[in-house]
Amino acid sequence: MASCVRQRFFGWFVFLCGFFVIVQVMLLLNQQKCNSPDEQTNLDARALNSAAGDKKNNIKRNDKKTSHRDKRRETATKFPVKSTPSDNNYLSPFHRRWEANCSAIFAGDTDVVQATYRMLKKERHSHNGSIVVPEDREVRTWTHDCDSFRSLRRYPTHPVSEEEDSYPVAYIIAVHKEAAQVERLLRAIYQPQNLYCIHPDAKSPEDFQRAIKGLADCFENVFISSKIEDVQYAGFTRLLADINCMKDLVGPRGDVYRWKYVMNLCGQDFPLKTNLEIVRQLRAYKGHNDITGVLPPSHIIGRTRYKHVIRDKQVKRTHRPKTPPPHNLRIHFGNAYYAATRRFVEYILTSPKATDLLRWSNDTFSPDEHYWATLQRAPGTPGGYPDPTWDENVRFMKWGDITKHPSCKGIYVRGLCVFGVAYLEYLATQPHLFANKFYYSFDPIAIQCIEEALLNRTRNPALSDRLPNFPVTNLLWQSHTALP
């Protein structure tokens, strides 16, 4: 009996040993077929890199197949865009994110641009001819919880670099409609070390006024002008809006935020450059103001030679001649937008020459188009220079009668192009800091694509070195001696 038990036990032992050997052999064979942990990690990393670079790689493959587009593809490297949906989550829940291939749009890919236009056209057709954007009363609700709003929209809370922190900039933003577009503009240019004065037109709707005030109240360095004007197109109050903000910018807030330059914008402007790039351009001005101005052509002279009045909500010329300009100032004509030093602003607000010219300009046509230009070329103006020139680098605009730029590829409003996505390829080659005009309700994808490009270059500042002809250092007046 004992012998029988031992035989059975020995048989089971042999069976189990054989089974164990077979299992080990199978595991060894399977391990040889599999990747090592390090190899698997490398594969995972390559897969992630491939997924992140699909858009870029697809464009490169298309380049090889379509060599005739090489020149257009080169534009994409000058205004690089590399984004994923997560990059733009801050748009939601406030702004709709459109599915658009911005890299291809900047590269001038005709097929992609046309497909984008068809998508927008279909959207307009289904909404009575315009794109649906957040209404002012909706924007009012965004800032009920400022902490949540700033967080969801990812407003910067710290300077991105020491270079930017040491060179704060001030902005004057004159607005009158579409609070949602104003918010996108503010988000695009916002930095915590900068200072922002917003001037809403006094006659703009209440919902708009309250929406803009809500935005300003969410930031210590954003405020509403202490004196609001009823802005008249081509009228004196448009100039006063800037003057009022200038007074605020050099007040107590200006003592806290020691800004170096001020730029004025309107609600339909949008930046083409990051804050770091803007700072580098302002430094390149060497203490000069960037203000255009030439002697007025014959068809412009009447603007300041005769008195004007407001009639039927329009500025009308009378037959009554004006007295000569004060202080023997020679009137120059330019545009209403500028980049000006702090010393220039302080001079504007205190110099009898400047204040007398301001009063004299009260009954002229579109005084903001001669006031800055004239003072810029007056002897003794801080940051000024005597040269008449149209050279400037603050703002790109495409007027219908200017042929040196490509045709509009959008719509014209008062003779000025409202840009669409088809114009982004050309804007990418321009050195200007801002462009005008953009209408959120006309082409939101154009704005979204610029946002993506700016976000990419902000995160990867080395990409700024690939911008063409930037910062500009060859403007006519930059040959003058650097100023303190």
Residues carrying an active site annotation = 369
Cis ω before 437 (30° cut-off from 0): yes
Calculate the CA 478 to chain-centre distance. Answer: 25
Phi then psi for 86, rounded to 5 degrees? -65, -25
Dump strand ranges (E) for 225-378. Answer: 261-266, 269-271, 306-311, 314-321, 339-341
Report the SS3 class of residue 424.
Answer: helix
Cis ω before 352 (30° cut-off from 0): no
Report the SS3 class of residue 186.
Answer: helix
- Give the count of beta carbons closer than 10 Å to the beta carbon of residue 193: 19
Residue 178 and residue 242 in contact, taking contact as beta carbons nearer than 8 Å: no
Distance, CA of 245 to CA of 226 (rounded, Å): 8
Distance, CA of 384 to CA of 269 (rounded, Å): 25
**Tokens at residue 199, please?**
């001037």
Residue 409 and residue 446 in contact, taking contact as beta carbons nearer than 8 Å: no
Edge-to-edge strand ranges of the sheet holding 261-266: 222-224, 195-200, 169-175, 261-266, 339-341
Q: What b/e readout covers 81-100, taking b as 16+ CB neighbours within 10 angstroms?
A: bbbeeeebebbeebbeebeb
- Give the count of beta carbons closer than 10 Å to the beta carbon of residue 360: 20
Give me the residues paired with residue 266 across strands.
Answer: 174
**Tokens at residue 152, please?**
């969801």
